[in-house]
Amino acid sequence: MDIAQALARIELLCSRDFPAEHGRSGADSAGPGHVMTELTTSDGFWEDDGTERELTEAQFDAYRDGLSERLSARWGPPHLVGLAGVFQRAQSGEDIPEPWATLSSHVPDLHLWRIPDRDRWMALGVSQWDRELPFQLLAVVTDVDPP
């Protein structure tokens, strides 16, 4: 992952308008009030004994932390937010707004900043839908407050 490219991508996400409808284009998925992009994606782990998965998970956490350091210089330290409780609330039938409902199903925790001059939230998280599937480093920008 190239940190300069990731920071440029995040800057673009923070400055663009949100679409009126839900949709996907390349590495981006978006909808009213939010946009999410895959900054980098690993290979899958279909024939892994767990070793490669653990190394990749540590690498993706390091990617997130490296970006987080650079974003902290811009916006201050992030809020560290666990999403397990949000996921449980969604599973219990509570209506959780997007992008938080979807994020809570595959991202255990986020580094989250309030972007003061844009009245938006920006989050970084490491996603993995299932043990065999790839890791993804995600950047999310939204004007929807966290639940």
Average pLDDT (54-76) is: 94
Ranges of each domain in the chain: 3-8+37-142
Q: pTM for the full model?
A: 0.91
26 in the Ramachandran plot: left (φ > 0), alpha (ψ -120 to 50) or beta? Answer: left
Residue pLDDT, tens place only, 70-111:
999 999 999 999 999 999 999 999 999 999 999 999 999 999
Distance CA 27, CA 47 (A): 25
